[in-house]
Amino acid sequence: MIGGARQPREDGPSPVPPSHQGCAIRSVRLQLPAQRGELRDRHEDGHHIHHLVWRLGPGVRVCSSAVLGGGIGPRAWILNAQVPGGYPRLDPDRHLAEIAASEGLTGPGAGLMTAADVAAYTTGHDGGVTATVTTGLGVRGWAASADVDCLPHRPGTVNIVLTLPAALSDAALVNAVATATEAKVQALLDAGLDCSGTPTDAVCVAAPEPGPDGGEPFAGPRSTWGARIARAVHTAVLAGARPARDLS
């Protein structure tokens, strides 16, 4: 059963009482490389599934497209939670808040979901940048597709979480998301997949809050940090996409 948690700060998402029972959670791996993250597992509604937690602490801000805590701002944690295929709930933000509460996560955070096997995450590292990717490509296709209504309903989602030690300006944070997305598409093509991703792909970029200098101004693929982001994401997505290609 998901337990309660301490009260969050007023500016953060409020974990709510659980609506599901039987969600025992335990740690199965600690200290992912350079990420201060944990791979956790839980039993929820008869399913044994996993989630990844980054306990970022103070002084970090995140730019993300996350369903919970998306946008740009200070974030104390990131959660990437696996859910069963055919996910029945219509309140993913509430569900993520329940999992966060069970982990004792407080303050503002960012929460992602995927039907991919979170325990099969892949990583890429370059010059202090770490990319952690969970890869599900069951609903892959091209972004500019005319056949949106014809897509099969199968588990998908490529979730990318980036951590880096350099503070980025607002513009550079947005640029980092674009760079990560470009690198993802390049990796999918290099893996031999005819797609740009899935309709529900998400990205989180975590970096220190900028000081008086405003942070690094650029994160495009030819900037110092953007190039590192691109290489780390490409490595992680390629490693996750090759098995998906082999299963196609």
What's the confidence (pLDDT) of residue 122? 95
Average pLDDT, the chain: 84
The values of phi and psi at residue 97, to 5°, are -65, -35
Residues of 13-22 as b/e, b for ≥16 C-beta within 10 angstroms? bebbebeeee
How many helices and strands (H and E) does the chain possess? 3, 11
* Amino acid symbol at 178: A
What's the confidence (pLDDT) of residue 50? 96
Check pLDDT > 80 for residue 156: no
Check pLDDT > 70 for residue 171: yes
DSSP state of 68: B
What's the confidence (pLDDT) of residue 14? 41
Span between the terminal Cα atoms of the chain, in Å: 37
| Bridge partner list, 71 | 64
Check pLDDT > 80 for residue 203: yes
pTM of the model: 0.83
The values of phi and psi at residue 168, to 5°, are -120, 145
pLDDT in tens, 89-133: 899 999 999 999 999 999 999 999 999 999 999 999 999 999 999
Lowest mean per-residue pLDDT among 144-148, 213-217, 236-240: 144-148
Cα 171–175–176 angle (5° rounding)?
120
What's the confidence (pLDDT) of residue 20? 36
Lowest mean per-residue pLDDT among 56-65, 69-78, 154-163: 154-163
Q: What are the distances in angstroms from CA 50 to CA 80, 90, 130, 197?
A: 9, 20, 20, 22
What's the confidence (pLDDT) of residue 149? 55
The values of phi and psi at residue 87, to 5°, are -45, 120
pLDDT in tens, 12-71: 444 333 333 334 444 333 333 345 569 999 998 889 999 999 999 899 999 999 999 999
What is the sign of the dihedral through the CA atoms of 242, 114, 42 and 61? positive
With a CB cutoff of 8 Å and minimum separation 6, the contacts of 159 are 80, 112, 114, 116, 133, 134, 201, 202, 203, 204
Q: Strand 129-137 relative to strand 156-163: parallel, antiparallel, unpaired?
A: antiparallel
Separation of alpha carbons 20 and 43, rounded Å: 11
Q: Is 15 helix (H, G, I), strand (E, B) or coil?
A: coil
What's the confidence (pLDDT) of residue 86? 84
Q: Is 39 helix (H, G, I), strand (E, B) or coil?
A: strand
**SS3 labels along 176-209:** HHHHHHHHHHHHHHHCCCCCCECCCCEEEEEEEC
